[in-house]
Amino acid sequence: MPENTYNVSIKDKNGCIATTIAVISSSIDILKNIDIQLTPNPASDFVSINSISFGFPGTTLKLSNITGQVLDISNKLVKNPDVWVLNVKDLPSGIYIVSLVTNLKSISKLFIKQ
């Protein structure tokens, strides 16, 4: 049986037994596999950001220019359940860093603004 997988049997007061398989995982297990996808890249108007971590409390997004200056994106980010959309239309052309920050992990990806 794979790791974190268990046979579970429950016996009621009448002696009837129900058996099933349970898979146990934690947020830490899920966070190990978190990644982000930025599309399109390069971008001129909008960047779609996909990640499974959007459902985790405290997940935030940070945008920096190539020199490390953090940019205010509070009025440029639309958070949908499955995808976050960043309006980059007014940014100067260049290389930017999108950082997804959770309570346990931070992931950064580069994108090019045309």
pLDDT at 73 over 80: yes
pLDDT at 112 over 90: yes
pLDDT band at 50 (very low <50, low <70, confident <90, very high): confident
**Is the whole model's pTM more than 0.75, yes or no?**
no
- Taken in order of first residue, the domains within the chain and their CATH numbers are 31-113 (2.60.40.10)
Q: What is the DSSP track for 13-73?
A: TTS-EEEEEEE---HHHHHHT---EEESSSBSSEEEEE-GGGGSTT-EEEEEETT-PEEP-
- Find, among 80, 82, 83, 104, the residue nearest to 27 by Cα: 104
pLDDT at 77 over 80: yes
- With contact defined as beta carbons under 8 Å apart, do 107 and 31 qualify? no
pLDDT band at 28 (very low <50, low <70, confident <90, very high): low
Work out the average pLDDT over 61-90: 91
